[in-house]
Amino acid sequence: MSDTTVRPLPAYPAPRAHPFDPPPEHRRLTKEEPVSRVRMADGLELWLVTGHPEAKVVLSDRRFSADRRHPNFPGGIQGRQVVAQTRPLMITLDGEEHARARRSVIGEYTTRSIGVLRPYIQRIVDRFVDAILRHGGPVDLVQALALPVPTLVICEHLGIPYDDHPMFERMSIRLLQRDTTDQERVALVGELRAYLDRLVTAKERAPGDDFLGRQILKHRAKGAEPDHEDLVGLAFLILLAGHDTTANMISLGVLALLQNPDVRADIAADPSRTPRAVEELLRYFTIVETVTARVAKEDVRVGDVLIKAGDGIIVAGNAADRDERVFADPDRLDISRDAHQHLAFGYGPHRCVGENLARLELEIVYDTLFRKIPGLRLAVPFDRIPFKHDANFYGIYELPVTW
């Protein structure tokens, strides 16, 4: 190829070679070109950030916008028709508007507030693990534990009847799959928001001791009614992001611990190491991919690259969290390392508000599962496990285990 030949832009997303690792192309870019140009499936050309220091700049610099209404904003879990037809969610706001929305809910997710839930979550996990033992192996750990635990927790948190979970789990799967069309997304979002609209209306009539009820009462204590549509949007965001992500991390984390018996033995011998193991597992997988996107509001230099105003950017957090400049021997699952700089929960003003809840659920599940079922092992060969290569939140569809 001559020096004057124009190479086609790499496609995004790129395929993985091993289900535990980011795509090889992204790994190469992290080392050679941490800010590079790629082409989306819809033809949109944008910047892909695969370097860790560069990712932190994009996610923290207020010159990059989270507004999905911008025509150059990279497509994610919401299609363009959905964005055009619904009120912006908290994660799509910028500046003071975003800060104000975040301040209204952040008190629900402090370490202290979430810590109160530990006995409740422990009872839930005990119940499902005991049911697995009664059932006997083999069992699909996704359906038996990884999915129902965070679903029940988020239902209790929002005040949603748990009996309704098959409905929103079905919708979540389709909304998060990359091949879902804009038309399908519009219909799914409309159906889910209609359900949540009825739920919020019922809460407004009789607020209970749950997230939505407390939000309503907090506004009324100040002499005002909360904005109904804002509450529906909050419920939509928390429901969609609050159970599927944690469910995926439960199943991926269990699988990684089964594949790394030395790490599993370490936390079994000393459960005080589990929080550090959770941080390392979060770094190792960094499951949220396409939704971590921005658009430049003005020209910004990131590393050696000048990103122009109006350019779209995707931060590949899973590649950035394998950056050798920040994490030594990054492909090794090492719970002795300090992994707190990982980007699994994002970075900057839009960092995930529910991170403390996710951490607590993961710690309790890993400790309880391996304490009660020390002989847990895969019931199928590793290469038969169906990974979510087609989804924006990476994970596993089924995890057959026995003991």
In this structure, are residues 314 and 47 in contact, taking their beta carbons and an 8 Å threshold? yes
H/E stretch holding 37 reads strand 35-40
Burial class of 338 by CB neighbour count within 10 A (0 to 12, 13 to 18, 19+):
exposed
pLDDT score at 142: 96
pLDDT score at 209: 93
Give me the residue spans of the domains in the chain. 11-402
DSSP secondary structure string, 248-292? HHHHHHHHHHHH-HHHHHHHHH-GGGHHHHHHHHHHHH--B-TTS
Two tokens at 64? 């990059």
Q: Which CATH number fits domain 11-402: 1.10.630.10, 1.25.40.10, 3.60.20.10, 3.40.50.2300?
A: 1.10.630.10
Q: Which of 220, 210, 283 is nearest to 21 (CA)?
A: 283
Residue type, 355: E
Residue type, 54: E
pLDDT score at 173: 74
Give me the tens of pLDDT residue by residue for the chain, a chain 403 residues long: 444 456 788 889 899 999 999 999 999 999 999 999 999 887 889 999 999 999 999 999 999 999 988 888 886 545 554 555 567 788 889 999 999 999 999 999 999 999 999 999 999 999 999 999 999 989 999 999 999 999 999 999 999 888 888 887 777 777 777 777 778 888 888 888 899 999 999 999 999 999 999 999 999 999 999 899 999 999 998 988 878 899 999 999 999 999 999 999 999 999 999 999 999 999 999 998 766 899 999 999 999 999 999 999 999 999 999 999 999 999 999 999 999 999 999 999 999 999 999 999 999 999 999 999 999 999 999 999 999 998 888 999 999 999 9
Burial class of 301 by CB neighbour count within 10 A (0 to 12, 13 to 18, 19+):
exposed
Q: 3-state DSSP helix/strand/coil percent for the chain, to nearest 5?
A: 55, 10, 35
In this structure, are residues 10 and 23 in contact, taking their beta carbons and an 8 Å threshold? no
Query: What is this structure's pTM?
Result: 0.92
pLDDT score at 391: 83
Q: Which of 81, 28, 70 is nearest to 46 (CA)?
A: 70
Two tokens at 331? 């492909």
Two tokens at 401? 């285990």
